Amino acid sequence: MPANLTPQYFDAEKKFRAARGPFEKIAALEEMLSVMPKHKGTDHLRAELRTRIAKLNQQAAKKSGGQRASMMIEKEGAAQVVIVGLPNSGKSQLLTSLTNASPAVGDYPFTTQSATPGMMEYEDIKIQLIDTPPLAPQAIQWWLPPILRQADALLLVVSLAEDPVSQVASLREQLVGMRITIGDREEPSVEPDVLTWPKKALLVGTKADLDSGGRNRQTLESEYRAELPVVPVSVTDNGSLDELKSRLYRLLDIIRVYTKAPGTKPDLTDPVVLPVGATLADAATAVHKDFAAKLRYARIWGSGKHDGVSARRDHVLKDGDIIELHL
């Protein structure tokens, strides 16, 4: 059976070939694994990659005094989003306010020492958020860059109780050090032929309630709005947290599609989550790996068309579409 590897896989493979040292190699192999289609045709290759990761882990463990080199947190839900920021910027508080998780929140730096995941509910889907230790130069631990590189998006957290511009500059510098780029801007400090991990990101200004006159928020928006979406929030304002959730959903470029069997009502509580641009054939594969090959046609409700029209396998789906697959 053909493996049908995607362009993302070959990009990750390029990163593997350019990787220096076991940590970068592990990060690249883990990325290859995470973007590889999961079906019989890739079983062998996936097993091989896992063996290579295990071997590199042993090597890396020797270098780092016995610790595991991989702390990858298995992705759950529709997307994996990592919260990053300087000490005391409100990262853990954000995870607490948006998810079921309860990391330690404290008014002193370096409260958070490890990565903590939590699930955020947004309408009918769940998005995984991961709280991390501060991105301060002296505190970045060897296992952090791979977690950031694997993320579907980053929340860059800065406190609006202080000057936000220097915080963003500092965060960017740390990220560039990990060869992670954000926004559309070319990073002049990254050599053009060095492989990088480009990431979608939202710039989240926390503690908006402590920003007297909204001055820091205005500064943040005027400096960065052209490159990155800027979202001010406060734990005292639920509306701001809801706004953050919906901005994050839009950033992720995903759609929800609901399936129904002929003659029944659709299940509107359990959507299939797909990337923007996904077709009926992609949706069929997401339901069952064999369905795309068997798909004859589908009926579709939504998509700005008449209800129940039949559509072909290359039809591009929209958020909220309901589909009925005919095999």
Ligand X SMILES: Nc1nc2c(ncn2[C@@H]2O[C@H](COP(=O)(O)OP(=O)(O)O)[C@@H](O)[C@H]2O)c(=O)[nH]1
Residue 279 CB, nearest distance to ligand X (Å)? 41
Among 22, 90, 146, 205, interactor with ligand X by CB under 6 A: 90
Q: Does 91 bind ligand X (CB under 6 A)?
A: yes
Q: Does 139 bind ligand X (CB under 6 A)?
A: no
In sequence order, which residues have a C-beta less than 8 Å from that of residue 302 and are 6 or more positions away? 318, 320, 321, 322
Q: Which of 76, 123, 83 is nearest to 233 (CA)?
A: 83
Residue 234 CB, nearest distance to ligand X (Å)? 4
Q: Which does 80 bind (CB under 5 to 8 A by kind): ligand X, Mg ion, none?
A: none
Q: Does 159 bind Mg ion (CB under 5 A)?
A: no
In contact, 217 and 208? CB cutoff 8 Å: yes
Among 74, 107, 191, 314, interactor with ligand X by CB under 6 A: 107
In the region spanning residues 160 to 219, those forming contacts with ligand X, defined by CB under 6 A, are 206-207, 209-210
Among residues 113 and 310, whose Cβ is nearest to Mg ion?
113
Residue 248 CB, nearest distance to Mg ion (Å)? 19
Among residues 10 and 110, whose Cβ is nearest to ligand X?
110
Site string for Mg ion, 93-132 (x = CB under 5 A): ------------------xx--------------------
Q: Does 141 bind ligand X (CB under 6 A)?
A: no
Q: Does 259 bind Mg ion (CB under 5 A)?
A: no
In the region spanning residues 252 to 291, those forming contacts with ligand X, defined by CB under 6 A, are none
Site string for Mg ion, 63-92 (x = CB under 5 A): ----------------------------xx
Among 70, 89, 174, 285, interactor with ligand X by CB under 6 A: 89
| Positions in the binding site for ligand X (CB under 6 A) | 85, 87-93, 105-107, 111-112, 134, 206-207, 209-210, 234-235
